[in-house]
Amino acid sequence: MNGPFDDIFGNTPFDLNRDGHIDGGEWAFINDTLFSDDLDTDIDEEDELEDELDMVGLDRDELELMDPEERWDALEDAGLDPDDFEDF
């Protein structure tokens, strides 16, 4: 008996055991590969801020050592919003 996904995915690289049928494990693999919204595209907000600093040539460690007014000016001069970097 053919399953609902055998005609679509049977005898393809998704048919891991090459039996011509898509079983539950293979379907889970297909679902995770093709239809999952839980990909590693979630970037932590802190990582985004680090990337912004890297793009404009600023170093987080150096900014942390600056006094608040100097840090504010450096971020503004780099074209960044100092309010986004309040956690320093």
| pLDDT tens, position by position, 19-41 | 888 888 888 888 888 876 655 55
Q: What is the DSSP letter of 84?
A: G
Tens of pLDDT along the chain (88 residues) come to 577 666 776 677 778 888 888 888 888 888 888 876 655 555 677 788 888 898 889 999 999 999 999 999 999 999 989 988 887 6
Distance, in Å, from the CA atom of 24 to the CA atom of 65, rounded to the nearest integer, reads 55
- Prediction pTM value: 0.49
